[in-house]
């Protein structure tokens, strides 16, 4: 029974920060590529960030590079997304993803403008 549960979303002012968490159960994330996606109203779901295996290697969308940091704690079976210097265009539902095609329910991030 694979379950991914995102948390940490909320309302934040432009320039502020949030830290999202993705707690996994029914699956061991160690050795797996874990990803964050987001979807704004009327928009397609878009890739945000990925962490590969141990977390030594990470990848980011150009729109968030330099502002967001993806990390993982395999001992806690949890993936994180530290979001800094938030902008109104970062407003979206953020989803955690694990292979193969597992998704969390999403957590809402709203950046006021």
What are the tens digits of pLDDT across the range 1-45?
999 999 999 999 999 999 999 999 999 999 999 999 999 999 999
Task: Assign 6 to helix, strand or coil.
Answer: strand
Pairing status of strand 10-12 against strand 107-111: parallel
Q: How far apart are CA 55 and CA 46, in angstroms?
A: 21
With residue 109 as reference, give the H or E element that holds it: strand 107-111
pLDDT in the model for residue 53: 81
Triad 89, 90, 94: Cα angle to 5°: 140
pLDDT in the model for residue 91: 97
In the chain, pLDDT over 70 holds for what percent of residues?
Answer: 100
Query: With 90 as the cut, is the pLDDT of residue 56 above it?
Result: no
| Average pLDDT across the chain, whole number | 96
pLDDT in the model for residue 55: 74
pLDDT in the model for residue 95: 98
């Amino acid at each position: 029974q694979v379950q991914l549960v995102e948390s940490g979303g909320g309302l934040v002012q432009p320039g502020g920060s949030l830290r999202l968490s993705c707690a996994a159960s029914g699956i061991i994330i160690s050795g797996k590529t874990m990803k964050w996606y987001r979807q704004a109203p009327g928009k397609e779901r878009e890739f945000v960030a990925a962490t590969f295996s141990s977390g030594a290697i990470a990848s980011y969308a150009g729109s968030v590079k330099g502002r967001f940091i993806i990390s993982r704690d395999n001992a806690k079976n949890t993936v994180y997304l530290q979001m800094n210097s938030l902008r109104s265009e970062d407003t979206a539902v953020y989803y955690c993803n694990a292979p193969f095609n597992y998704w969390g329910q999403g957590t809402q991030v709203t950046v006021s403008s």
